[in-house]
Amino acid sequence: MPELVRLYIRSVALGFAVSAVFTGGLVWWDVAGIGHLILGSDIGLVAAVMMVVFNGIVFSGVQFGFKVMAMAEDQDGPGGGHGAREPVLVPVPAVSRKARFIRR
């Protein structure tokens, strides 16, 4: 199996684990009444599973993106190897306020 696929599977597993802990924390501490709604409803289990799945999708994507961006090699110097940048003066012709009113 390619290394990138293994990295993706590990990121998905970690993202869903974090999602389960996050959802458990929301229910345990009853943030915004979510715990009361989930535990007090007859279909609260469905809501909890939906929260784990949807948060798992988000957390997995973030985890994978973080891992892929951390794989980047350092470039030479700041700004990805483009070297130090210096400001350039650009001449801009300006017309005085009085001259603008006279032309109209």
Encode pLDDT of 85-95 as tens digits. Answer: 788 999 988 87
Contact 30, 36 (CB under 8 A): yes
Domain boundaries, the chain: 3-70
pLDDT per residue as tens digits for the range 15-27? 999 999 999 999 9
User: What pLDDT, on the 0 to 100 scale, is given for residue 102?
Assistant: 63
In this prediction the pTM is: 0.68
Could you give the 3-state DSSP secondary structure of residue 90?
coil
**Gap between the Cα atoms of 48 and 68, Å rounded:** 30
Kindly tell me the burial class for residue 92, based on how many C-beta atoms sit within 10 Å of its own C-beta (0-12, 13-18, 19 or more): exposed
User: Residue 104 above 60 pLDDT?
Assistant: no
User: What pLDDT, on the 0 to 100 scale, is given for residue 73?
Assistant: 76
Contact 7, 67 (CB under 8 A): yes
pLDDT per residue as tens digits for the range 25-78? 999 999 999 999 999 999 999 999 999 999 999 999 999 999 999 988 766 655
Structure tokens at 40: 């007090």
**Gap between the Cα atoms of 17 and 10, Å rounded:** 11
Structure tokens at 52: 């784990």
The H-assigned helical ranges of the chain are 3-28, 34-40, 44-70, 97-103
